[in-house]
A and B are shown apart, each in its own frame.
Chain A
Amino acid sequence: MTTPTTGLPPEPAGRRSWLRDHSELGVCVMLLVLGALVLTDALTMDVDLTQRGPVGPRTVPVVVGAGLLVVAVLLAVDVVRGGRGRAETGEDVDLSEPADWRTVLLLTGVFLGSAVLIEPLGFPVSGALLFWGAAFALGSRRFDRDPLIAATVSLVAHTVFDNLLGVPLPGGPLMGVL
């Protein structure tokens, strides 16, 4: 819902708070960058020889890129005029408190870490580390229980997917020993 905010005059020292209030402009910047990227990629494409038919591989990217630029501008106008995207709600979502960036960063780090470890250590180990690390990041501090649950979940999932469903996951040195 775009709810128009009541026209508060910007405070003198309020440049930062103005930016915070209008952080959605960041979305516009991202859309602009994306649009520029798509357009450049399309226009630098070498199409003369491969073009078959009137619409070549360039047409749709050009339209999408241009569309991104237009939408970025329109969204910026909407945001400056006071329009706001409504943050998504959910069972476990409490929007009354500010976003907890530490948790999000921790989770991102844990996820990347497990992605790096999946090939050298195998899925059972990297998956268990992912589960435990994520649970830790989300505030679980049961050091007796958490690693045990993580290891069980990871081993069971590995068995089900790798052996029963035929989805290959690397076993790593651990499964070589077992």
Chain B
Amino acid sequence: MNALTSLLDGFGTALTPINLLWAAIGVLLGTAIGVLPGIGPAMAVALLLPVTYGLEPIGAFIMFAGIYYGAMFGGSTTSILLNTPGESAAVVAAMEGNPMAKSGRGAQALAAAAIGHFAGGMVGTVLLVALAPAVAGLAVDIGAPDYFAIMVLAFIAVTSVLGSSRIRGLASLLIGLTIGLVGLDRMTGQQRLTFGSLQLADGIDVVIVAVGLFAIGEALWVAAHLRRGPPEPIPVGLPWLSRGDVRRTWKSWARGPFIGFPFGAIPAGGAEIPTFLSYVTEKRLSRHQEEWGKGAIEGVAGPESAASASAAGTLVTMLTLGLPTTAVAAVMLAAFQQYGIQPGPLLFEREPDLVWGLIASLFVGMVLLLALNLPLAPVWAKLLRIPRPYLYAGILFFASIGAYAVGGEVIDLVILLIIGLIGFGMRRYGLPVLPAIVAVILGPAAEQQLRRALQISDGSVSGLVGTPFSVTVYAVIVLLLAWPLLKKAVTRRRAEH
């Protein structure tokens, strides 16, 4: 089927009143949660995972997509008005946005960010429509050895590209793999790390791990270092742009997606790198060099557009290969697993209604985001004044609902707390959380593919590198691993000259 006709069918799904409602709820909830300090998009989706027990998959994913985009925009709002970015992707928004807000141009900064998100999301989703079926088509024939290779690539990429210490990333990855091992072995039914407990035989539910690492871990970490007297947000009116502002920013909005989208699609940390690259690009191209650092509007417009497009890129990889490249995608993948749906090349054939409904809802969500966020900006700004005890008490409260909802077991709450304490320790000692959650979600699947591949090759390791695809992937992995050594060699040679 042609992508365009499928997309039109998707709009048929997305525009039903009930799905429109989910999209609107997702966008509003996502923005509100994103604005709230201390809650990023990943925690927002993790806390809302329990709704998957009561909702149809299409409605749930439409809502999650709305939350993803909404929370990213909300995070930038916080950055601009408070100058204390919560997640790394919003750091760049603070660099020019906060000086703008301080000098009374907060309304313009928010407008540039909102329209940037709209433009980036639109272009990114168009690229998603154009590319995803093709990628899925290419990937349809890949077998167990190829899947295993891609998953190893994901593990290596999240541990070595992101974060600054590889050894700490690796520690986090292994912790995640260990959590994923708990339970009955899927192929032989052997008990692993269950210590004879019946509850552990089912394994630790991904929802509990995600909520524990992202919500409980974060809440406890903030509680240990709660800022006395939270920063005062800068008051702001309705966002608007003058004609001169638009003339300065439209090119930045247009350039952003082409930086953001490719980075979102590869496992390189989502929006963090592209927002920074976009910032540097805009700075180089700007005719108003004197304004940079004091509030140049291009420095808000470009990166925000790149951030939004990177979310679309993330979805390409997640939907077509089943690989999460960001924490949000990892948690969304957990939601797919809750429904027993396996994202991957076959998803477009098996669940066309779901996929195309989801993609169409991205366009709908983008329009809603723009239409709602411009008028609601002053309301969002008020959310920044929420008393912190209530905020973090609320996070713990909703986290406990999430864990209890998994199976109605008190023991799940205890496991949740233990994983939360692990998450606390990881934040304290700089172990990144992303490798752990990716390992919990992909680890069991990777083991299955490995064993399947070796069964086919009758135990010969050569079965793992038997296809051109897997060989290519392993070559990329070697490059990734060798990169720091290569870089060192190059700089040393330069220094010698």
Contacts and interface: CB of A to CB of B under 8 A. Distances in A.
Do A and B pair up? The answer is yes
A67 B170 CA distance: 9
B200 to A, nearest CB: 11
Interface in A53-71: 53-57, 59-61, 64, 67-68, 71
Contacts of B261: none
Interface string B125-148: 000000000000000000000000
Contacts of A93: 221-222, 225-227
A138 B397 contact: no
Interface stretch (B242-250, B291-299, B366-374, B406-414): B406-414
Given A50-B189, A52-B188, A99-B224, A118 B429 contact: no
Interface size class of A (residues with CB under 8 A): 35 or more
Interface secondary structure of A, over-half rule:
helix
A166 B171 contact: no
Contact of B187 (A57, A111, A138, A167): A57
Interface in B40-86: 50-51, 53-55, 78, 82, 84-86
Nearest to A47: B190
B424 A104 contact: yes
A151 B187 CA distance: 47
A21 interface: no
Given A55-B454, A153-B397, A157-B401, A108 B190 contact: no
Interface size class of B (residues with CB under 8 A): 35 or more
A85 interface: yes
Contacts of A137: 223
Contacts of A37: 193
A127 B397 contact: yes
B283 interface: no
A92 B388 contact: yes
A20 interface: no
A100 B216 CA distance: 16
A107 interface: yes
Interface of A: 1-2, 24, 27, 30-31, 34, 37-38, 41-42, 45-47, 50-57, 59-61, 64, 67-68, 71-72, 74-75, 78, 83-88, 90-95, 97, 99-101, 103-104, 107-108, 111-112, 114-116, 118-119, 123, 127, 130-140, 149-150, 153-154, 157, 161, 164-170
